[in-house]
Amino acid sequence: MLSDKTIEEVEALKRRYPDPRGAILPSLYIAQREFGWLSPEAFEAVSIVLGVPKAHLRGVASFYAMYRHKPVGRHLIQLCTNVSCMIFGAEDLVSLLKNRYGAEVGGTSPDGRFSLVIMECIGACEAAPAMLVNEDFHNNLTENNITEILEKYK
């Protein structure tokens, strides 16, 4: 279940749209924040507050890459490997994350510290390669500075 405060947050969102279904995407984000991922409980909770069937919510959520369809590690690394990042070595960083932390693409390191997702351009191409760790941007990555940056995320 969602807390009263969170339910109030969703109710306020519903009022921003002429049809409460407009609030589906933002509500899924809220549920994800509260439950850590889109667990069956998360869908149940959103379904109740919005009055939308769970099957519909699942169908919607599965279309979008930024919803978490399984539990993730303590920190989510979203690394861009699209062209402008690729030509500055983004693929080497993918290998490094795997070798050093055991974080496979789409998976989580065995210690539960990092999950790794490959992104399609995060709008930081002028300072490539780039990644988001949780909600923080890190640019101009190299094989040296990426491990330093990740030190901050325990």
Partner 1 sequence: MNYLLKNIENPNSFDVREYEKAGGYRSLKKAVEMEPAAIIAEVKKSGLRGRGGAGFPTGMKWTFANADPKFPKYLICNADEGEPGTFKDRPILEKNPHLLIEGMVISGHALRAEYGYIYLRGEYPDARDILNRAIKQAYEKGYLGDNVMGKGLKFHLTVHLGAGAYICGEETALIESLEGKRGQPRIKPPFPVNVGAFSMPTIVNNVETFSNIPCIMEIGPEAYSKIGSPDCPGPKLYCISGHVEKPGVYELPMGTTLREIIYTHCGGIKGGKSLKAVIPGGISTPVLPPSNIDCPMDFVSMPKHGSMLGSGAVMVFDETVCLVKVCLRALKFFEHESCGKCTPCREGTGWLRSILSRIEDGKGEKEDIDTLLDVSGNIVGKTFCPLGDGAGSVVINFIKHFRPEFEEHIEKKGCKYKK
The footprint of partner 1 (CB under 8 A) covers 16-19, 21-26, 28-29, 52, 59-60, 63-67, 78, 81-84, 86-87, 119-128, 132, 135, 137
Distance CA 141, CA 153 (A): 16
Say how many Å lie between the first and final Cα of the chain, rounded: 29
CB-neighbour burial class of residue 89 (10 A; exposed 0-12, middle 13-18, buried 19+)? middle
Report yes or no: 77 and 101 within 8 Å, Cβ to Cβ. Answer: no
Q: Residue 33 in contact with residue 47, Cβ under 8 Å?
A: no
Question: Of residues 85, 93, 116, 133, which one binds ligand FES by CB under 6 A?
Answer: 85
Query: Please, how many CA atoms are within 13 Å of residue 118, restricted to the half-sphere of its CB?
Result: 16
The yes or no reply on residue 124 touching ligand FES (CB under 6 A) is yes
Place of tokens 């490094």: 96
User: Which residue, 57 or 141, is less far from ligand FES as judged by CB?
Assistant: 141
Stretch that binds ligand FES, among 15-23, 51-59, 95-103, 121-129 (CB under 6 A): 121-129
Task: Rank residues 121 and 149 by Cβ distance to partner 1 and give the closer one.
Answer: 121
Smallest gap from residue 98 Cβ to partner 1 (A) = 18
Q: Binding segment for ligand FES among 11-19, 77-85, 102-110, 145-153 (CB under 6 A)? A: 77-85
Task: Write out the residues near ligand FES by the rule CB under 6 A.
Answer: 80, 82-85, 121-125, 128, 130
